[in-house]
């Protein structure tokens, strides 16, 4: 009896232990399942993501369609206004025009692009109507979105009547030119060059000169413009473009040629590199005041320009100066110390003076050291002679030219 009770007790203990173990295992499985559920919940549901993306695309599509319908209705109303299809009075037309302007002001850049495309797709749009819409382009769109409009106009110039040909029925003002004018009138050169940066290289080349026209009429304006141009040049193509405009910026002005003091001061304050000075002085002989040529020749002798370039500039300056005032050139030669630039001036002077004073010209030739500079002067004299003449042949033979 006692033994049976002991056996029953052992069996109960074993069963209890087995139950406890199974309970623990079940608990662990529940915890693991719960963890998996939590982790699964944290993982994005692909179907849900796809659903949200599809919903977003649908919403965007609906917005796009709504925008297109809005623009189409605006275009229709605008064309009706231009044609005055309802026979409205002057007062009524003024009210309608204000309504159109208000609706146009609500357009964002993408809607503006849609409007311009819709308007220009109409089959019977004439130059007068295009001129009218350009008024809104300039006075509404450009003033509200100058940078975006710069990119838009350069990418689709045909929508804005920007071309190299004048419209036959009515002159249409170039809106990109107006954009440059607007930025300069606002005294916002950084904005002007930001707009140029958004435009195509072709437009940059075509319109960068407008900044000179609208902003470069004072010494301070030219100095500011000079710095903005240099900051704008971030690519090799832009650097070449800017360097090509440096001479115009420094020397050209709508009302008169700038003075030596004004330009030389700007050149000094700008701290130009040798390469920039070369670019800035290109074609300077056509732009400086003739009476100040001597000062520019002196300036060339004192600045960091490669000798070959400096001599070329001096030769071109002296050639033009001799045509206008040969006596002044002669006096400069007498008073100036020897230098590569003086040799170039002597050669230019001799070439121009030779037909009238051969002996005096050859005397100046003799002051030029043997080498390319003297040869250039002799070649210039020879080329000015009738090539079949005995004098030309004798001159060529004496100095070994024409071989």
pLDDT exceeding 90 applies to what percent of the chain? 45
Residues 8-67 pLDDT 10s: 443 343 334 334 334 444 454 445 445 544 544 554 555 555 566 656 566 556 676 888
**Locus of tokens 């070369």:** 278
Integer angstrom CA distances of residue 199 from 121, 156, 173, 203:
24, 11, 18, 6
CA 275 to chain centroid = 20
pLDDT value of residue 46: 52
pLDDT value of residue 124: 84
Residues 211-226 pLDDT 10s: 988 887 787 888 899 8
Rg of the Cα trace of the chain? 40
pLDDT value of residue 36: 40
Integer angstrom CA distances of residue 267 from 222, 257, 271, 274, 280:
11, 16, 7, 11, 9
CA distance 113 to 121: 12
Q: Which residues of the chain have pLDDT under 50?
A: 1-26, 28-30, 32-33, 36-37, 39-40, 43, 166-170
CA distance 284 to 318: 11
Coil, strand, or helix at residue 305?
Answer: coil
Q: How many other CB atoms are found less than 10 A from the CB of residue 87?
A: 6
pLDDT value of residue 156: 94
Structure tokens at 183: 């930025």
């Amino acid at each position: 009896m006692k033994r049976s009770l002991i056996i029953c007790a052992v069996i109960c203990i074993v069963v209890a232990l087995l139950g406890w173990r199974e309970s623990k295992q079940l608990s662990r499985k529940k915890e693991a399942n719960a963890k998996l559920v939590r982790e699964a919940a944290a993982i994005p549901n692909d179907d849900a993501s796809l659903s949200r993306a599809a919903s977003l695309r649908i919403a965007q599509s609906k917005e796009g369609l709504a925008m297109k319908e809005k623009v189409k209705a605006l275009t229709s109303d605008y064309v009706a206004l231009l044609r005055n299809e309802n026979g409205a009075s002057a007062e009524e037309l003024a009210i309608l025009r204000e309504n159109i302007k208000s609706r146009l002001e609500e357009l964002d850049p993408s809607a503006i692009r849609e409007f311009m495309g819709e308007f220009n797709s109409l089959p019977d749009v004439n130059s007068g109507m295009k001129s009218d819409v350009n008024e809104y382009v300039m006075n509404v769109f450009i003033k509200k979105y100058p940078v975006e409009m710069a990119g838009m106009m350069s990418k689709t110039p045909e929508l804005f009547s920007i071309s190299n040909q004048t419209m036959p029925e009515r002159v249409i003002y170039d809106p990109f030119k107006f954009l440059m004018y607007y930025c300069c009138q606002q005294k916002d050169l950084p904005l002007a060059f930001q707009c140029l940066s958004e435009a195509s290289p072709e437009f940059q080349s075509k319109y960068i000169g407008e900044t000179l026209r609208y902003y470069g009429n004072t010494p301070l304006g030219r100095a500011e413009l000079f710095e903005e141009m240099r900051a704008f040049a971030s690519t090799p193509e832009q650097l070449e473009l800017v360097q090509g405009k440096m001479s115009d910026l420094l020397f050209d002005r709508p009302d008169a040629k700038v003075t030596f003091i004004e330009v030389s001061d700007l050149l000094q304050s700008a701290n130009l590199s040798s390469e920039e000075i070369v670019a800035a002085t290109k074609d300077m002989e056509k732009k400086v005041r003739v009476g100040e040529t001597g000062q520019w020749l002196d300036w060339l002798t004192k600045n960091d320009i490669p000798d070959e370039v400096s001599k070329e500039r001096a030769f071109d300056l002296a050639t033009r100066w001799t045509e206008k005032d040969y006596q002044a050139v002669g006096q400069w030669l007498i008073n100036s110390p020897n230098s590569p630039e003086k040799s170039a001036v002597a050669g230019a002077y001799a070439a121009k003076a030779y037909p009238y004073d051969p002996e005096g010209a050859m005397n100046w030739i003799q002051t030029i050291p043997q080498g390319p500079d003297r040869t250039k002067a002799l070649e210039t004299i020879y080329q000015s002679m009738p090539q079949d003449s005995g004098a030309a042949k004798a001159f060529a033979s004496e100095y070994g030219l024409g071989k």
